[in-house]
Amino acid sequence: MSNFNILKLILPPEEKIFYELFEKSSCVCCESALILKSLLKGDFDPERLIKIKELRKISSSLAKETLEQLNKTFVTPIDREDIQYIASKLNRINKKITKTYQNLKIYNLKAYFSNIEKHVDLLVEASNEIRHILSELKKVSDMKRIIQSSQKVKEIENAGDELFVQHLEDLFSGKYDALTVIKLKDIYNSIENALNTCSDISDEVVRIVLKHS
């Protein structure tokens, strides 16, 4: 067993809280991504908008709680800057998802939901993989499983990159008016940024595990 895994076994409960906060934050990301996906299947339900705003607040609160715990915890299971990095990136994913949802409503892009759907499906997949990776980090886990999940996130990100290029080629093909191009490009950018942030977290977790193994 590595020193990293031994440390996780002997840490007192208050110092294991960072894993719990990561997992809660990743679950919030997954739930927000699913709400965004459900929007593309239907209409702008007011209850759905209320829910995604509530999740945004929860995400911010979890990020804040992580920093507060860092300030009062002497021994941390992983480096302090790594904890701050992951917490910040998880909050960023949720922020991007919420922004995408709200802008879809503001921009009145329902006619283009089918264009956006596949990109959001990739985001749902990526957020689920991030939840899995952070769950493995929380437990005494096999490095191989974390690396496999990380590779899966990388595959999803690559698929998103290809789709993003296809979207841009379509946008600048001349069949859209200028205002629609601006609106759709903003939506595609938000989704792509969220996907890239999932990949950032995945890479960071692998780096942490390799560093401590």
- Whether 4 has a pLDDT exceeding 70, the answer reads no
Single-letter residue type at 90: L
Residue with tokens 């899995």: 132
Query: In total, how many domains does the chain have?
Result: 1
pLDDT number for residue 74: 81
Residue 205 lies in a domain: yes
Note the pLDDT tens digit of each residue in 54-103: 999 999 999 999 999 998 888 888 899 999 999 999 999 999 999 999 99
Alpha-carbon distances of 70 from 66, 96, 104, 126, rounded to whole Å: 6, 25, 36, 27
Residue 5 lies in a domain: no
- Rounded Cα gap, residues 144 and 23, in angstroms: 20
Residue 175: CB atoms within 10 Å: 9
Has residue 202 been placed in a domain? yes
Rg of the chain on CA atoms, in Å = 18
Range of the domain at 127: 13-212
Query: What CATH number should be reported for the domain holding residue 138?
Result: 1.20.58.220
Residues 32-56 as b/e (b if ≥16 CB within 10 A, e otherwise) read bbbbbeebbeeeeeeebbeebeebb
